[in-house]
């Protein structure tokens, strides 16, 4: 018997079907004849009937009879009873043949009960389809349903059930059980459709609300833009920041963060408690220049002219700066080491940064780091804190208005490290070219590119700068100015500026060269010119009073300085005229420049004690112990009674703390002079660290020390042999006034002085 497989519908007994021509050709049943018996069987899986094999066909099917085959090849089929299928085969042309036997079913429901329950389901379906546009067409079709089997077969293509569940309907032998199973599937279908429709309605309403809100917002934006153009002074904060963000050129991360904060600001409203904080953040990040600046062509001749115009001397420093600018000119970008200018106050470390900015045509920013103890001052505060602020670096960038300013970090040696944090470590990322292209300030919480910033650091001393930070910088030393340097600086720069500040004209006052030199010698004692500037300003202010009272053509002479500036401001330590055994002239370095000091020694009867006064630090106290050991070893006869004597070593001025190893050779010489009772000419000074082996080791600050020697009237200076190369940095006028002798061993000094 012909077998026709089905995969998308269910065929049950007592059902009439009408098949169109297209389906007939698909099933390859165009040769069916009226009265022919066939079997319908469900496939075990959802595959096309043409691709089915015998193993895919279920064992229970439904027998049917071909009732009518019309001229259009449309077919009417009436199903009969259920049958068991066996000996199924597939022919060469792809058709199935099988043997069947009737499968009996249990009739355990009355016809009246079945009709009553069927009519109820049918009524529910008729109500259900009223909500659909196709309901009118479906109603006429559903009215022809005669039983539950026809309902199931007609709707089986819509039921969401698997092939196994479809087959189960056919497989059930109990008529009542099959009815109840179909009834459950039918009601589930309607409920699922209702839930789906309700969900679609809710989604539609939500979408309509969203679309309406979006349309209203767009309309408001259009109207707001028109109002902003008509009245730019009344532009709203949100619109203002939106416009700034669009024009800022921020990187991707910064743009996302700014848009997120802007959205929060919109929802917060002006009355929100976080509105002010959000406003401040957006105001800051949109004020920064995020765009890469075009690099100006670097003119080395112009740079050299600017440096010479603004600063006298400093030849070595200027040459190093020109080298840095040359490297930048070749690379067309910021490159080279971070420069660290180290030297006494008032020597032009900070102001030379302004000259570099002028030479490069860039903005200049100065940030003072002195006394900073909290690393948040560098990296900024996190916005979770009340009163959070960006760090000084990003504040400087904002202040400059560009992304490539010349930034001077002043007084990096005065950073404080304590429990609050380590600001020196925070500077590592700022000054490291390998990291600062993505510097992240805690307040901003987004990276900013600092690689185009020309960083310059300044310090008075290297001692307190952390080693990792110092390694990232190239040290350029600023020596103190000589008297000639100070005179020229005063003539070319300080006097004209002071006159301008005081409102004086050239024909109203003249300060003589002799007066300037006297101010330098008697009223200033620093290595730089800051104190000199103050004294000249004092002179100009005093002169301004006289001019206002009617005096003209003032001429300031040396003898008039007592009237203008008061009594002599500086009492210098001059070299004594007479030599005394046990007293030797030494040289010291301070942050304010070089100074001379005297090592004074004296011995009295006692118990072998060593008394040290003058506020000496641990290093100088150790130098005293080393010197005593060396002298006792070199002069055993002269020091044989040392246990019966007390030795007092004093370094004036007693109120000023002193420390450092460079007084070692001076202490040895002073003790040798004391024990040998031989005098040392006070016009001879010396500096150098000593070792127990008798060697004189190199020291720092040679230039400043030699300048101090010339000011005090010293004629001859002993320096360590390894410091000879440093003489290149010493001004010629200083070297011309001194006899400089290099020494390798302690005995070289003692022999030269006739002490050994």
Contacts of 515 (CB under 8 A, 6+ apart): 556, 557, 558, 560, 561
Query: Phi/psi class of residue 486: alpha, beta or left (left: φ > 0; alpha: ψ in -120 to 50)?
Result: alpha
| SS3 category, 705 | helix
Neighbours of 131 (CB within 10 A): 10
Query: Can you tell me the distance from the alpha carbon of 342 to that of 253, in angstroms, rounded to the nearest whole number?
Result: 38
| Residue of 556, 581, 563, 553 whose CA lies nearest to 679 | 581
Q: Is the peptide bond before 653 cis (omega within 30 degrees of 0)?
A: yes
Q: From CA 33, how far away is CA 14, in angstroms rounded?
A: 20
Cα 319 to the center of its chain, rounded Å: 33
Two tokens, residue 605 = 């009867």
Is there a contact between 418 and 376 (Cβ–Cβ < 8 Å)?
A: no
Q: Annotated catalytic, 497?
A: no
Tell me whether residue 662 is one of the annotated catalytic residues. Answer: yes
* DSSP state, residue 38: E
Measured CA to CA, the distance from residue 297 to residue 360 in angstroms comes to 8
- HSE-up (13 A, CA, CB side) for residue 502: 26
Is residue 455 within 8 A of residue 409, CB to CB? The reply is: yes
Enumerate the β-bridge partners of residue 78. Answer: 16, 65
Q: Would you give the DSSP letter of residue 492?
A: I
Read off the tokens for 500: 């301008």
Do residues 729 and 723 touch, judged by C-beta distance below 8 A? no
DSSP-assigned letters across all residues of 161-204: --HHHHHHHHH--BHHHHHHHHHHHHHHHHHHHHHHHHHHHHHH
CA nearest to 623, candidates 664, 670, 665, 672: 664
Among 662, 673, 735, 751, which one carries the catalytic annotation? 662
For the chain, how far is it from start to end, CA to CA, in angstroms? 140
The rounded distance, in Å, linking the Cα atoms of 369 and 366 is: 10
Cα–Cα distance measured from residue 741 to residue 668, given in angstroms and rounded to the nearest whole number: 17
Question: Exactly one of 302, 705, 724, 756 is catalytic; which is it?
Answer: 705
For residue 19, the 8-state DSSP code is E
Residues with a catalytic annotation lie at 662, 705
């Amino acid at each position: 018997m012909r077998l026709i497989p089905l995969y998308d519908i269910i065929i049950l007994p007592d059902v009439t079907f009408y098949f169109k021509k297209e389906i007939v050709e698909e099933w390859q049943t165009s040769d069916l004849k009226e009265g022919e018996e066939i079997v319908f069987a469900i496939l075990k899986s959802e595959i096309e009937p043409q691709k089915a094999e015998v193993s895919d066909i279920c064992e229970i099917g439904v027998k049917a009879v071909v009732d009518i085959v019309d001229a259009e090849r449309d077919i009417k089929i009436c199903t009969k009873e259920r049958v068991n299928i066996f000996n199924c085969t597939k022919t060469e042309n792809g058709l199935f043949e099988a043997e069947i036997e009737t499968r009996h079913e249990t009739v355990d429901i009355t016809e009246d009960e079945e009709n009553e329950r069927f009519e109820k389901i049918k009524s529910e379906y008729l109500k259900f389809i009223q909500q659909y546009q196709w309901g009118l067409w479906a109603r006429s079709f559903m009215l022809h349903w005669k039983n539950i089997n026809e309902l199931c077969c007609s709707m089986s293509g819509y039921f969401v059930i698997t092939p196994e569940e479809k087959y189960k309907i056919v497989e059930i032998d109990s008529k009542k059980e099959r009815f109840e199973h179909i009834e459950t599937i039918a009601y589930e279908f309607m409920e699922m459709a209702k839930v789906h429709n309700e969900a679609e309605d809710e989604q539609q309403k939500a979408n309509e609300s969203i679309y309406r809100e979006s349309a209203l917002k767009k309309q408001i934006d259009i109207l707001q833009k028109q109002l902003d153009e008509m009245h730019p002074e009344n532009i709203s904060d949100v619109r203002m920041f939106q416009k700034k963000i669009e024009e800022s050129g921020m990187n991707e991360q910064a743009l996302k963060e700014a848009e997120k904060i802007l959205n929060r600001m919109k929802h917060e409203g002006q009355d929100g408690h976080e509105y002010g904080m959000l406003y401040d953040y957006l105001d800051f990040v949109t004020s920064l220049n995020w765009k890469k600046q075009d690099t100006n062509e670097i003119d080395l001749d112009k740079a050299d002219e600017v440096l010479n115009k603004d600063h006298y001397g400093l030849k070595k420093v200027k040459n190093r700066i020109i080298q840095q600018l040359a490297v930048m000119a070749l690379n067309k970008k910021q490159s080279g080491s971070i420069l660290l200018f180290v030297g006494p106050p008032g020597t032009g470390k900070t102001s030379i940064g302004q000259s570099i900015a002028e030479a490069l045509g860039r903005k200049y920013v100065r940030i003072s780091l002195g006394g900073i103890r909290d690393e948040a001052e560098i990296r900024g505060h996190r916005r979770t804190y009340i009163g959070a602020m960006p760090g000084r670096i990003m504040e400087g960038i904002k202040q400059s208005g560009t992304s490539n300013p010349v930034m001077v970090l002043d007084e990096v040696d005065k950073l404080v490290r304590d429990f609050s944090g380590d600001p020196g470590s925070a500077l590592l990322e700022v000054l490291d070219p390998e990291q600062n292209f993505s510097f992240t300030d805690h307040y901003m919480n987004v990276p900013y590119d600092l690689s185009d910033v020309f960083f310059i650091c300044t310090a008075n001393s290297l001692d307190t700068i952390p080693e990792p930070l110092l390694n990232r910088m190239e040290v350029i030393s600023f020596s103190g100015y000589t008297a000639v340097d100070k005179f020229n600086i005063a003539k070319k720069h300080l006097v004209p500026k002071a006159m301008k500040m005081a409102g004086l004209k050239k024909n109203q006052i003249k300060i003589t060269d002799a007066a300037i030199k006297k101010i330098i010698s008697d009223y200033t004692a620093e290595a730089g010119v800051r104190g000199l500037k103050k004294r000249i300003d004092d002179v100009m202010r005093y002169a301004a009073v006289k001019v206002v009272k009617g005096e003209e053509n003032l001429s300031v002479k040396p003898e008039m300085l007592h009237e203008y500036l008061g009594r002599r401001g500086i009492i210098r330590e001059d070299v004594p005229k007479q030599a005394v055994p046990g007293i030797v002239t030494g040289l010291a370095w301070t942050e304010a420049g070089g100074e001379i000091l005297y090592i004074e020694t004296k011995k009295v009867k006692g118990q072998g004690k060593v008394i040290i006064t003058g506020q000496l630090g641990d290093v100088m106290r150790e130098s005293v112990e080393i010197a005593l050991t060396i002298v006792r070893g070199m002069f055993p006869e002269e020091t044989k009674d040392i246990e019966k004597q007390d030795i007092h070593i004093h370094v004036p001025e007693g109120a000023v703390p002193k420390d450092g190893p460079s007084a070692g050779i001076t202490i040895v010489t002073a003790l040798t002079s004391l024990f040998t009772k031989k005098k040392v000419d006070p016009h001879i000074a010396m500096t150098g660290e000593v070792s127990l082996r008798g060697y004189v080791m190199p020291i720092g600050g040679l230039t400043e020390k030699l300048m101090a020697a010339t000011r005090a009237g010293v004629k001859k200076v002993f320096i360590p042999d390894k410091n000879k190369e440093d003489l290149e940095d010493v001004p010629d006028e200083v070297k011309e006034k001194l006899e400089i002798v290099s020494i390798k061993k302690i005995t070289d000094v003692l022999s030269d002085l006739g002490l050994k």
